[in-house]
């Protein structure tokens, strides 16, 4: 995806240093794992325990045990590399968000609607949202209460490694899908759906309605890609395949089969892999909001 020359959105709220994933003065898990081969043998003897105690005492008095062991330089290099990677991802997210702002500000007035920019909150581990507690395990989500998308950057690694859906346009699809929920919120779709769910008090019906909401957001992601390509010429060879692969990799049937070996359609909340790819393609091919009515 060609994004380096795109306008960067200012609607990114960076909480990476203040959210619940920071170390707060304690050794990071990465540091512990790095020196674990040295610690493990020490646990078997009294002398080893004494050495560990001295290391803890040194740490509490401002002396870095890693520096004594000659590992601090290696740890700092790893941390710096991770931070550079995250900063590159943050710049990418800001560029994609900027493109979604340009596209939806052009599209929605055609439907007599005004587009209000949402924000994307970047965090590590956990943070608070207008919809309650947010954690990395929840994956990216849109909160209609504060009109913000919450995203732990670790999700992109999970998308590539766990779901076998690498690529920058796969990531752009995820962001555009969440912005699609924002468009639904502006349209009043999310509030109407929430009211229906409360009236029904039926989990299976609520799940079926949620599937339609998610598939429409996939279609809206396709609409963004359609218009962003026309306006900014963002696509490179393989980009569409990356997005379709991502959509297919996180379908309910695929995820359930991978986790349990079987599927339960009554518990689906996002749609099958086939449904997700088909609705994304519909938005991509037509660029028409009217073609994304998943509720018919």
pLDDT tens sequence for the chain (296 residues): 999 999 999 999 999 988 765 433 444 444 444 455 666 677 788 887 888 788 777 666 656 555 555 554 444 444 555 888 899 999 999 999 999 999 999 999 999 999 999 999 999 999 999 999 999 889 999 999 999 999 998 999 999 999 999 999 999 999 999 999 999 999 999 999 999 999 998 999 999 999 999 999 999 999 999 999 999 999 999 999 999 999 999 999 999 999 999 999 999 999 999 999 999 999 999 999 999 999 98
Phi/psi at 231 (5° precision): -85, -40
> Looking at 17, 51, 76, which one is the last position of a domain?
76
Claim to verify: residue 51 and residue 173 sit in the same structural domain: no
Secondary element (H or E) of residue 27: none
Can you give the pLDDT at residue 142?
98
Claim to verify: residue 50 and residue 97 sit in the same structural domain: no
Claim to verify: residue 35 and residue 110 sit in the same structural domain: no
Can you give the pLDDT at residue 147?
98
Claim to verify: residue 105 and residue 34 sit in the same structural domain: no
Asked whether residue 16 is domain-assigned, the answer is no
Claim to verify: residue 58 and residue 107 sit in the same structural domain: no
Can you give the pLDDT at residue 100?
98
120 beta partners: 12, 149
Can you give the pLDDT at residue 200?
94
Claim to verify: residue 161 and residue 69 sit in the same structural domain: no
Claim to verify: residue 40 and residue 106 sit in the same structural domain: no
Closest CA relative to residue 211, chosen from 151, 164, 253: 253
Claim to verify: residue 111 and residue 35 sit in the same structural domain: no
Number of domains in the chain: 2
Claim to verify: residue 67 and residue 90 sit in the same structural domain: no
Sign of CA dihedral 17, 21, 27, 30: negative
CA-to-CA distance for 286 and 143, rounded, in angstroms?
A: 28
CA-to-CA distance for 232 and 167, rounded, in angstroms?
A: 19
Claim to verify: residue 71 and residue 90 sit in the same structural domain: no
**Residue found by looking up tokens 């994307």 in the block:** 120
Asked whether residue 124 is domain-assigned, the answer is no
Q: What residue numbers bound the domain in which 58 lies?
A: 29-76
Closest CA relative to residue 213, chosen from 180, 169, 173: 180
CA-to-CA distance for 222 and 244, rounded, in angstroms?
A: 10
Radius of gyration of the chain (CA): 23
Asked whether residue 1 is domain-assigned, the answer is no
Asked whether residue 165 is domain-assigned, the answer is yes
Claim to verify: residue 34 and residue 111 sit in the same structural domain: no
Asked whether residue 62 is domain-assigned, the answer is yes
Neighbours of 256 (CB within 10 A): 17
Claim to verify: residue 94 and residue 54 sit in the same structural domain: no
Closest CA relative to residue 92, chosen from 17, 9, 165: 9
Asked whether residue 6 is domain-assigned, the answer is no
Q: Quick check: 265 and 208 in contact, CB under 8 A?
A: no
In Å, what is the CA distance from 232 to each residue of 96, 100, 241?
Answer: 11, 11, 19
Asked whether residue 109 is domain-assigned, the answer is yes
Asked whether residue 233 is domain-assigned, the answer is yes
CA-to-CA distance for 14 and 121, rounded, in angstroms?
A: 6
Based on the number of CB atoms within 10 Å of its own CB, is 259 exposed (0-12), middle (13-18) or buried (19 or more)?
exposed
């Amino acid at each position: 995806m060609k994004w380096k020359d795109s306008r960067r959105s200012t609607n990114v709220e960076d909480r990476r240093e203040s959210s619940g994933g920071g170390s707060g003065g304690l050794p990071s898990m990465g540091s512990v794992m790095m020196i674990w081969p040295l610690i493990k043998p020490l646990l078997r003897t009294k002398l080893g325990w004494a050495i560990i105690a001295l290391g803890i005492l040194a740490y509490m008095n401002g002396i870095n045990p890693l520096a004594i062991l000659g590992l601090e330089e290696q740890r700092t290099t790893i941390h710096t590399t991770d931070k550079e990677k995250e900063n590159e991802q943050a710049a990418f997210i800001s560029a994609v968000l900027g493109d979604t702002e340009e596209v939806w500000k052009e599209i929605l007035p055609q439907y007599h609607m005004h587009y209000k920019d949402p924000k994307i909150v970047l965090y590590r581990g956990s943070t608070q949202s207008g919809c309650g507690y947010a954690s990395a395990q929840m994956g990216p989500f849109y909160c209609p209460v504060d009109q913000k998308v919450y995203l732990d950057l670790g999700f992109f690694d999970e998308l590539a490694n766990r779901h076998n859906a690498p690529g920058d346009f796969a990531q752009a699809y995820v962001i555009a899908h969440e912005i699609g929920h924002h468009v639904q919120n502006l349209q009043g779709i999310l509030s109407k759906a929430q009211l229906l769910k409360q009236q029904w008090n039926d989990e299976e019906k609520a799940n079926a309605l949620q599937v339609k909401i998610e598939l429409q957001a996939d279609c809206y992601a396709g609409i963004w890609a359609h218009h962003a390509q026309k306006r900014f010429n963002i696509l490179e060879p393989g980009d569409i395949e990356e997005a379709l692969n991502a959509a297919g990799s996180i379908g309910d049937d695929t995820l359930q089969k991978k986790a349990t070996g079987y599927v339960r359609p009554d518990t689906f909340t996002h749609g099958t892999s086939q449904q997700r790819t088909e609705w994304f393609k519909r938005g991509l091919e037509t660029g028409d909001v009217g073609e994304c009515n998943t509720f018919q």
